[in-house]
Amino acid sequence: MSIASPLEGPEAGAPTRRSRMRAAVLQMTSTPDLDANLLSLERLVREAASRGAELVVVPESFAFIGSEEAKIGLAETLPEGGPILAWCRALAIRERVHLLLGGFWESSPDPSRVYNTCVHLAPGGEVAAAYRKIHLFDVDLPDGTRLRESETVLAGDAPVVTTTPFGPLGLSVCYDLRFPELYRRLVELGAEALIVPSAFTLTTGKEHWHVLLRARAIESQAYVLAAAQTGRHFGRRVSYGHALIVDPWGTVISQCSEGEGLALAELDPARVASVRRQLPSLTHRRL
Protein backbone atom coordinates (compact mmCIF):
# COMPACT_ATOMS: atom_id res chain seq x y z
CA MET A 1 0.00 0.00 0.00
CA SER A 2 1.32 3.42 -0.91
CA ILE A 3 0.59 6.48 1.23
CA ALA A 4 0.98 9.82 -0.52
CA SER A 5 1.36 13.26 1.03
CA PRO A 6 2.99 16.44 -0.22
CA LEU A 7 3.83 17.38 3.37
CA GLU A 8 5.07 15.61 6.44
CA GLY A 9 3.38 12.31 7.32
CA PRO A 10 3.86 8.54 7.40
CA GLU A 11 6.22 6.98 4.91
CA ALA A 12 4.81 5.02 2.00
CA GLY A 13 3.84 1.55 3.08
CA ALA A 14 3.91 2.42 6.79
CA PRO A 15 2.10 -0.23 8.87
CA THR A 16 -1.21 0.76 10.40
CA ARG A 17 -2.68 -0.61 13.62
CA ARG A 18 -6.25 -1.58 12.77
CA SER A 19 -9.13 -0.93 15.15
CA ARG A 20 -12.66 0.36 15.24
CA MET A 21 -12.88 4.13 15.44
CA ARG A 22 -15.75 6.46 16.29
CA ALA A 23 -15.99 9.30 13.76
CA ALA A 24 -17.97 12.53 13.55
CA VAL A 25 -18.80 14.78 10.61
CA LEU A 26 -19.65 18.39 11.42
CA GLN A 27 -22.29 20.67 9.93
CA MET A 28 -21.60 24.40 10.16
CA THR A 29 -22.82 27.75 8.85
CA SER A 30 -19.59 29.68 8.35
CA THR A 31 -19.73 33.44 7.65
CA PRO A 32 -17.25 36.32 7.22
CA ASP A 33 -16.84 36.37 11.04
CA LEU A 34 -13.66 34.35 11.62
CA ASP A 35 -13.86 34.42 15.42
CA ALA A 36 -17.49 33.26 15.46
CA ASN A 37 -16.68 30.46 13.01
CA LEU A 38 -13.83 29.17 15.16
CA LEU A 39 -15.97 29.29 18.29
CA SER A 40 -18.65 27.24 16.50
CA LEU A 41 -15.97 24.78 15.42
CA GLU A 42 -14.68 24.48 18.98
CA ARG A 43 -18.16 23.84 20.35
CA LEU A 44 -18.89 21.12 17.80
CA VAL A 45 -15.51 19.40 18.16
CA ARG A 46 -15.86 19.39 21.95
CA GLU A 47 -19.33 17.88 21.63
CA ALA A 48 -18.08 15.23 19.22
CA ALA A 49 -15.18 14.31 21.52
CA SER A 50 -17.48 14.17 24.55
CA ARG A 51 -19.58 11.62 22.63
CA GLY A 52 -16.58 9.43 21.95
CA ALA A 53 -15.39 10.66 18.55
CA GLU A 54 -11.71 10.01 17.86
CA LEU A 55 -11.84 11.43 14.33
CA VAL A 56 -13.68 14.63 13.40
CA VAL A 57 -14.23 15.88 9.85
CA VAL A 58 -14.75 19.64 9.44
CA PRO A 59 -16.61 21.22 6.46
CA GLU A 60 -14.98 23.02 3.56
CA SER A 61 -14.38 26.76 4.21
CA PHE A 62 -14.86 26.20 7.94
CA ALA A 63 -12.90 29.30 9.01
CA PHE A 64 -14.33 31.83 6.58
CA ILE A 65 -16.93 32.33 3.85
CA GLY A 66 -16.93 35.92 2.65
CA SER A 67 -15.19 38.17 0.16
CA GLU A 68 -12.48 36.71 -2.05
CA GLU A 69 -10.02 39.41 -1.05
CA ALA A 70 -10.43 38.65 2.64
CA LYS A 71 -10.14 34.90 1.97
CA ILE A 72 -6.77 35.38 0.29
CA GLY A 73 -5.64 37.57 3.18
CA LEU A 74 -6.35 34.76 5.66
CA ALA A 75 -4.23 32.16 3.85
CA GLU A 76 -1.45 30.47 5.84
CA THR A 77 1.55 28.36 4.91
CA LEU A 78 1.78 24.64 5.62
CA PRO A 79 2.98 22.88 7.64
CA GLU A 80 4.09 25.95 9.67
CA GLY A 81 0.70 27.66 9.66
CA GLY A 82 -0.41 30.85 11.36
CA PRO A 83 -3.03 31.79 13.95
CA ILE A 84 -5.84 29.70 12.40
CA LEU A 85 -3.78 26.52 12.16
CA ALA A 86 -2.32 27.12 15.64
CA TRP A 87 -5.84 27.42 17.03
CA CYS A 88 -6.88 24.18 15.31
CA ARG A 89 -3.73 22.39 16.48
CA ALA A 90 -4.54 23.33 20.07
CA LEU A 91 -8.10 22.07 19.62
CA ALA A 92 -6.90 18.69 18.27
CA ILE A 93 -4.45 18.33 21.16
CA ARG A 94 -6.94 19.38 23.85
CA GLU A 95 -9.69 17.05 22.60
CA ARG A 96 -7.23 14.29 21.57
CA VAL A 97 -8.81 13.77 18.15
CA HIS A 98 -7.71 13.33 14.55
CA LEU A 99 -9.00 16.61 13.07
CA LEU A 100 -9.65 16.72 9.30
CA LEU A 101 -9.85 20.38 8.32
CA GLY A 102 -11.79 20.74 5.10
CA GLY A 103 -11.11 23.74 2.91
CA PHE A 104 -8.21 25.27 4.84
CA TRP A 105 -6.99 28.35 2.96
CA GLU A 106 -3.31 27.63 2.24
CA SER A 107 -0.88 30.13 0.71
CA SER A 108 0.25 29.36 -2.83
CA PRO A 109 3.11 30.59 -5.05
CA ASP A 110 0.56 32.88 -6.77
CA PRO A 111 -0.20 35.83 -4.42
CA SER A 112 -3.62 36.28 -6.06
CA ARG A 113 -4.73 32.69 -5.39
CA VAL A 114 -4.71 30.17 -2.53
CA TYR A 115 -4.93 26.39 -2.24
CA ASN A 116 -8.17 24.84 -0.97
CA THR A 117 -6.57 22.23 1.27
CA CYS A 118 -7.83 19.33 3.39
CA VAL A 119 -5.46 19.10 6.37
CA HIS A 120 -5.14 16.08 8.68
CA LEU A 121 -4.07 17.16 12.16
CA ALA A 122 -3.08 14.22 14.37
CA PRO A 123 -4.03 14.21 18.08
CA GLY A 124 -0.57 15.54 18.86
CA GLY A 125 -1.25 18.59 16.71
CA GLU A 126 1.19 17.76 13.92
CA VAL A 127 0.22 18.00 10.24
CA ALA A 128 -0.03 14.33 9.26
CA ALA A 129 -1.08 15.02 5.65
CA ALA A 130 -2.49 17.71 3.38
CA TYR A 131 -4.43 17.39 0.13
CA ARG A 132 -4.88 20.33 -2.25
CA LYS A 133 -8.23 20.26 -4.04
CA ILE A 134 -7.74 19.14 -7.64
CA HIS A 135 -11.13 19.89 -9.23
CA LEU A 136 -12.27 23.53 -9.02
CA PHE A 137 -15.91 24.63 -9.08
CA ASP A 138 -16.45 26.96 -12.07
CA VAL A 139 -20.19 26.96 -12.86
CA ASP A 140 -23.27 29.01 -13.73
CA LEU A 141 -26.26 27.51 -11.92
CA PRO A 142 -29.93 27.70 -12.97
CA ASP A 143 -30.75 29.89 -9.95
CA GLY A 144 -28.38 32.59 -11.20
CA THR A 145 -25.49 31.69 -8.94
CA ARG A 146 -22.14 32.13 -10.70
CA LEU A 147 -19.06 30.62 -9.05
CA ARG A 148 -15.51 30.77 -10.40
CA GLU A 149 -13.31 29.03 -7.85
CA SER A 150 -10.32 29.01 -10.20
CA GLU A 151 -10.15 32.82 -10.12
CA THR A 152 -8.85 32.75 -6.54
CA VAL A 153 -7.85 29.10 -5.99
CA LEU A 154 -4.90 27.21 -7.45
CA ALA A 155 -5.60 23.53 -8.20
CA GLY A 156 -3.57 20.73 -6.65
CA ASP A 157 -2.34 17.75 -8.65
CA ALA A 158 -1.73 14.83 -6.27
CA PRO A 159 -4.12 12.36 -4.57
CA VAL A 160 -3.42 11.88 -0.86
CA VAL A 161 -4.07 8.99 1.52
CA THR A 162 -3.31 9.36 5.22
CA THR A 163 -3.31 6.87 8.10
CA THR A 164 -5.32 6.53 11.32
CA PRO A 165 -5.88 3.73 13.85
CA PHE A 166 -8.91 2.67 11.75
CA GLY A 167 -6.80 2.46 8.61
CA PRO A 168 -6.09 4.54 5.48
CA LEU A 169 -8.23 7.58 4.67
CA GLY A 170 -8.47 9.08 1.18
CA LEU A 171 -8.75 12.87 1.19
CA SER A 172 -10.87 15.02 -1.14
CA VAL A 173 -12.80 18.30 -1.09
CA CYS A 174 -16.37 19.04 -2.24
CA TYR A 175 -16.46 19.30 -6.09
CA ASP A 176 -13.98 16.40 -6.28
CA LEU A 177 -17.02 14.24 -5.46
CA ARG A 178 -18.14 14.40 -9.12
CA PHE A 179 -14.96 12.75 -10.40
CA PRO A 180 -15.00 9.00 -9.59
CA GLU A 181 -11.54 8.46 -11.08
CA LEU A 182 -10.03 10.33 -8.11
CA TYR A 183 -11.68 7.96 -5.64
CA ARG A 184 -10.65 4.93 -7.67
CA ARG A 185 -7.07 6.15 -7.37
CA LEU A 186 -7.47 6.66 -3.62
CA VAL A 187 -8.70 3.08 -3.28
CA GLU A 188 -5.73 1.87 -5.32
CA LEU A 189 -3.53 3.70 -2.79
CA GLY A 190 -5.22 1.74 0.01
CA ALA A 191 -8.09 3.96 1.17
CA GLU A 192 -10.84 2.26 3.17
CA ALA A 193 -12.62 5.48 4.12
CA LEU A 194 -13.09 8.61 2.00
CA ILE A 195 -13.19 12.13 3.46
CA VAL A 196 -15.43 14.66 1.64
CA PRO A 197 -15.59 18.03 3.45
CA SER A 198 -17.99 20.18 1.44
CA ALA A 199 -19.96 23.37 0.93
CA PHE A 200 -22.42 22.03 -1.67
CA THR A 201 -24.78 24.66 -2.99
CA LEU A 202 -28.46 24.36 -2.19
CA THR A 203 -29.31 23.97 -5.90
CA THR A 204 -26.94 21.08 -6.61
CA GLY A 205 -27.18 19.51 -3.17
CA LYS A 206 -30.91 18.87 -3.39
CA GLU A 207 -30.42 16.85 -6.57
CA HIS A 208 -27.00 15.23 -6.30
CA TRP A 209 -25.52 15.17 -2.75
CA HIS A 210 -26.89 11.87 -1.47
CA VAL A 211 -26.68 10.11 -4.84
CA LEU A 212 -23.03 10.98 -5.39
CA LEU A 213 -21.90 10.15 -1.85
CA ARG A 214 -23.63 6.77 -1.88
CA ALA A 215 -22.24 6.02 -5.34
CA ARG A 216 -18.67 6.75 -4.21
CA ALA A 217 -19.15 4.45 -1.19
CA ILE A 218 -20.65 1.62 -3.26
CA GLU A 219 -18.09 1.67 -6.06
CA SER A 220 -15.16 2.13 -3.64
CA GLN A 221 -16.54 -0.28 -1.02
CA ALA A 222 -15.39 2.23 1.57
CA TYR A 223 -16.87 4.44 4.26
CA VAL A 224 -17.62 8.00 3.10
CA LEU A 225 -17.46 10.79 5.69
CA ALA A 226 -19.00 14.00 4.36
CA ALA A 227 -18.95 17.13 6.53
CA ALA A 228 -21.08 19.98 5.19
CA GLN A 229 -21.83 23.67 5.28
CA THR A 230 -25.50 24.57 5.69
CA GLY A 231 -27.69 27.66 5.40
CA ARG A 232 -26.94 31.24 4.31
CA HIS A 233 -23.34 32.45 4.56
CA PHE A 234 -22.59 35.63 2.65
CA GLY A 235 -24.44 37.45 -0.13
CA ARG A 236 -26.34 34.87 -2.18
CA ARG A 237 -24.23 31.95 -0.96
CA VAL A 238 -26.43 29.20 0.53
CA SER A 239 -25.35 25.61 1.27
CA TYR A 240 -27.41 22.42 1.31
CA GLY A 241 -26.17 20.77 4.52
CA HIS A 242 -27.02 17.12 5.31
CA ALA A 243 -23.60 16.11 6.62
CA LEU A 244 -23.57 12.32 6.69
CA ILE A 245 -21.65 9.05 6.94
CA VAL A 246 -22.16 6.21 4.46
CA ASP A 247 -20.99 2.63 5.05
CA PRO A 248 -19.17 0.47 2.45
CA TRP A 249 -22.46 -1.05 1.27
CA GLY A 250 -23.83 2.41 0.44
CA THR A 251 -26.15 2.75 3.43
CA VAL A 252 -26.44 6.15 5.11
CA ILE A 253 -25.75 5.24 8.73
CA SER A 254 -25.76 8.73 10.27
CA GLN A 255 -26.95 12.14 9.09
CA CYS A 256 -27.37 15.67 10.42
CA SER A 257 -30.74 17.37 10.67
CA GLU A 258 -31.21 21.10 9.99
CA GLY A 259 -28.83 23.72 11.36
CA GLU A 260 -25.39 23.31 12.88
CA GLY A 261 -24.66 19.94 14.45
CA LEU A 262 -22.86 16.66 13.93
CA ALA A 263 -23.40 13.05 12.90
CA LEU A 264 -21.58 10.12 14.53
CA ALA A 265 -20.84 6.55 13.49
CA GLU A 266 -18.35 3.80 14.19
CA LEU A 267 -15.88 2.88 11.46
CA ASP A 268 -15.06 -0.83 11.45
CA PRO A 269 -12.24 -2.16 9.24
CA ALA A 270 -13.85 -5.61 9.43
CA ARG A 271 -16.96 -4.18 7.74
CA VAL A 272 -14.86 -2.95 4.81
CA ALA A 273 -13.14 -6.34 4.50
CA SER A 274 -16.48 -8.16 4.67
CA VAL A 275 -18.11 -6.09 1.89
CA ARG A 276 -15.06 -6.39 -0.35
CA ARG A 277 -14.96 -10.14 0.23
CA GLN A 278 -18.69 -10.75 -0.35
CA LEU A 279 -18.84 -8.66 -3.53
CA PRO A 280 -15.26 -8.50 -4.89
CA SER A 281 -15.97 -5.94 -7.60
CA LEU A 282 -12.67 -4.14 -6.98
CA THR A 283 -10.86 -7.27 -8.20
CA HIS A 284 -13.02 -7.55 -11.34
CA ARG A 285 -11.86 -4.37 -13.07
CA ARG A 286 -10.89 -4.64 -16.74
CA LEU A 287 -10.06 -1.04 -17.69
Is residue 71 annotated as a catalytic residue, yes or no?
no
pLDDT band at 13 (very low <50, low <70, confident <90, very high): very low
Q: Is residue 228 part of a domain?
A: yes
Single out the catalytic residue among 60, 106, 192, 266. Answer: 60
CATH of the domain at 47: 3.60.110.10
Query: Which whole number is the average pLDDT over 82-95?
Result: 98
3-state SS record for the chain? CCCCCCCCCCCCCCCCCCCCEEEEEEEECCCCCHHHHHHHHHHHHHHHHHCCCCEEEECCCCCCCCCHHHHHHCCECCCCCCHHHHHHHHHHHHHCCEEEEEEEEEECCCCCCEEEEEEEECCCCCEEEEEECCCCCEEECCCCCEEEHHHCECCCCCCCEEECCCCEEEECCHHHHHCHHHHHHHHHCCCCEEECCECCEHHHHHHHHHHHHHHHHHHHCCEEEECEEEEEEECCEEEECCCEEECCCCCEEEECCCCCEEEEEEECHHHHHHHHHHCCHHHCCCC
Q: Cα separation of 186 and 176, whole Å?
A: 12
Q: Is 133 a catalytic residue?
A: yes
The string of pLDDT tens digits covering residues 165-179 is: 999 999 999 999 999
Q: Confirm whether 15 is domain-assigned.
A: no
What integer pLDDT is reported at residue 140 of this predicted model? Answer: 82
Residue 16 in any domain: the answer is: no
> Which of the following is catalytic: 174, 192, 260, 266?
174
Classify residue 9: in a domain, yes or no.
no
Catalytic residue, candidates 71, 118, 133, 149: 133
Asked if the model's pLDDT at residue 9 lies above 50, the reply is: no
Instruction: Provide the residue range defining the domain that includes 212.
Output: 21-282
Mean pLDDT lowest for which of 9-18, 85-94, 131-140? 9-18
11 in any annotated domain: no
| pLDDT above 90 (res 60) | yes
Whether 254 is in a domain gets the answer yes
- Asked if residue 208 belongs to a domain, the reply is yes
Active site residue 88: no
How many domains, in total, are found in the chain?
1
Indicate whether 263 belongs to any domain: yes
